[in-house]
Amino acid sequence: MVAENSLTLHKCDIAIVGAGIAGLRAALETSSSNVAILTKVYPHRSHSASAQGGISAALGNEEEDSWEWHMFDTVKGSDYLADQDAVEIFARDAPRALYELEHMGVPFSRNASGKIAQRPFGGHTKNFGEKPVKRACYASDRTGRAILDTLYEECMKQNIKFYPEFFATSLLMDGGNCVGLTAYEIATGEMHTFQSKATVLATGGCGMIFKTTSNAYATTGDGLALAYHVGVPLEDMEFIQFHPTGIYKLGILITEAARGEGAILKNGKGERFMERYAAVLKDLAPRDVVSRSILLEIREGRGVNNSDYVNLDLSHLGRDRIEERLPDLSSFAKTYLGVDVATEPISVAPTCHYLMGGIPTDSEGRVLGEKGAVKGLFAVGECSCISLHGANRLGTNSLLDLVVFARRTGKAILDYLENARLETLPEDQIQNASKQIHDLIDSKGNERVHQLRKEMRTVMHDKCSVFRDEKNLDDALKAVRRLRERCQNVRLEDKGSNFNQEIVETLELSFMLDLSEAIIVSATVRKESRGAHYREDFPNRDDKNFLKHTLVSRSPDGPKISYKPVVITRFQPKSREY
């Protein structure tokens, strides 16, 4: 049981929720102040570790490259929904960010001249779309792990204070400003209050909403829901990326670097079908294009063995190259499929991978509420929406997003701290947070969290994933609303306070159901197809009516929709061919 009024108070300058690459990088920038990092897993376990193939920057180590080409590719990849002022900052800053990581100790793979090695990746091109360019820097196929470890170890060096296995349950607000947060300590069941001048959400995406995902179990959109609950609108939530190559049924990511190194997708007839969908880039077209192509092949009866997957063939690359450049991929295929990728193909299908939308921020991480920046609240990484990725993110742009914008956010926070102070905490909100846990433990309902989660993941996958239409979205909305009602009635079997995972899973589920509703409503009002959002009933892009960002906010009458314009600077929208 949680004892009444037992909240332990922590005072800090900055409370960061999430210890993935974004959270750690923000902490390192602000380590001269009093920083607390809360993470619901151990800092070493964050989902950033699963990023495989690379991090982009126009270093030109292998061939001519330029930040303008990188910017163009990102904008075109986003189906012209990205805010181009943010993309320009990003592409220009990329080389500096890469050198900084290298100086910090990230063990990048090297080319023959000892520079950071680079390889091709989907949608990254030379000279505004001419042909693939080698822009992805990498540490074999464990780039995320290599960066996460280095940043974590740098945090150790700087003695940054971690609160491992702390689950943030609410943001504390005072007159529209964020003044701290409440958190549930998983090991003890104790509730804590963090009183902070600045709070940073760095909690990652929400892939667990969908049945098949490359995301970790911990990827439940907590920060998105925390912001949504205090009235922050969420931006572009309809744009969910499905990565083309997840291991069939399991969803485990098979890196795009495989295709960067030359692997080919083949249908049941053994055809290289991507030639028909993207004549120039073929298998290296952006992810939205490749995922849809795979599912069209399957729908038209050309899946492998008439089933719902296609093959990814690496066998022509040779064992040595696979072992050097893609060792993790090779081991995943061996472990989970019993497949030797040097001689046999991997069965793959699209898997939910990334949220392009999220908590709206400016290019320095300030969270943008309905009335401008929310004082004291910042967001970085996948949970934020700058908007850099628009309607579809290019591979390798995510890792770069984390380090470029977390650093900028850290600098903005240091400026902010100069005139900020700890504010009085709202007692009623703290008591409510405590009561929420009590009520959960005391609940006499009859619903089980696992069953509800399973139903949510299935309905979202069947009715709101790669292909969408009005009827399916309506059905999904009704189903999710029923699940939300049932979620009020969850019964816990474990009523203990010591490492109670059932409590955490129930809180996560209620977050995910709110986000599911936000995703469905946003997808319903966007009556066009753009990037990862494909409406079968509106198959074309409609710039006249929908070249704008969707905002969804919570209201007593259900989610409320509004819009904001897209920032267009250098590149006017054009049709998007690859």
Partner 1 sequence: MKCNFRVFRYDPSKNEEPYYRDYEVEADPRDRILDCLNTIRWEQDASLVFRWSCAHGVCGSDAIRINGICALACQKLVGDYKSPNFLIEPIPVFPVVKDLVVDMEPFFSKYRLVKPYLINPGDTPTTERIQTPEERELIDDTIKCISCACCTASCPINIAINKNYIGPAALVKAHRYIYDSRDTATKDRLILLDSNDGA
Residues that bind partner 1 (CB under 8 A): 41-42, 44-47, 49-50, 59, 95, 98-99, 102-105, 107-116, 139-140, 142, 145-146, 149-150, 153-154, 156-157, 187, 216-218, 250, 252, 328, 331-332, 335-336, 448, 450, 492-494, 496-502
Using a 10 angstrom Cβ sphere, with 0-12 exposed, 13-18 middle and 19 or more buried, the burial of residue 252 is buried
- Find residue 385's DSSP bridge partners: 360
Q: Are 128 and 72 in contact (CB under 8 A)?
A: yes
72 or 166: CB nearest partner 1? 166
Compute the CA torsion angle 373, 376, 381, 383 (nearest 10 deg). -70
Q: Where are the beta strands (DSSP E) in 343-459?
A: 346-355, 359-360, 366-369, 372-379, 384-385
273 or 332: CB nearest partner 1? 332
Lookup: tokens for 203: 């909690």
Question: Residue 530 in 3-state DSSP?
Answer: strand
- Beta-carbon contacts of 549 under 8 Å, excluding residues fewer than 6 positions away, are 81, 235, 236, 360, 387, 563, 564, 565, 566
206 or 274: CB nearest partner 1? 206
CB of 187 to partner 1, least distance (A): 6
CB of 109 to partner 1, least distance (A): 7
Identify which of 21, 158, 38, 27 has the alpha carbon closest to the alpha carbon of residue 101.
21
179 or 247: CB nearest partner 1? 247
What gap in Å lies between CA 487 and CA 452, rounded to an integer?
Answer: 7
508 or 528: CB nearest partner 1? 508
201 or 452: CB nearest partner 1? 452
What gap in Å lies between CA 316 and CA 345, rounded to an integer?
Answer: 10
What gap in Å lies between CA 374 and CA 142, rounded to an integer?
Answer: 36
199 or 500: CB nearest partner 1? 500
- Find residue 11's DSSP bridge partners: 195
Peptide bond between residue 497 and the one before it cis (omega within 30 degrees of 0): no
- String of DSSP letters for 190-229: -EEEEEEEEEEE-----GGGSSSBSS-TT-S-HHHHHHHH
Lookup: tokens for 27: 């902490």
Q: How far is CA 115 from CA 97, 106, 107, 111, 281, in A?
A: 15, 13, 11, 6, 26
DSSP-derived secondary structure letter, 567: P
Q: Which of 287, 468, 526, 576 is catalytic?
A: 287
Provide the residue type at 173 as one letter.
Answer: M
CB of 236 to partner 1, least distance (A): 26
259 flagged as catalytic: no
Lookup: tokens for 480: 């999710």
328 or 475: CB nearest partner 1? 328
CB of 510 to partner 1, least distance (A): 17
Q: Which residues are part of the catalytic machinery?
A: 287
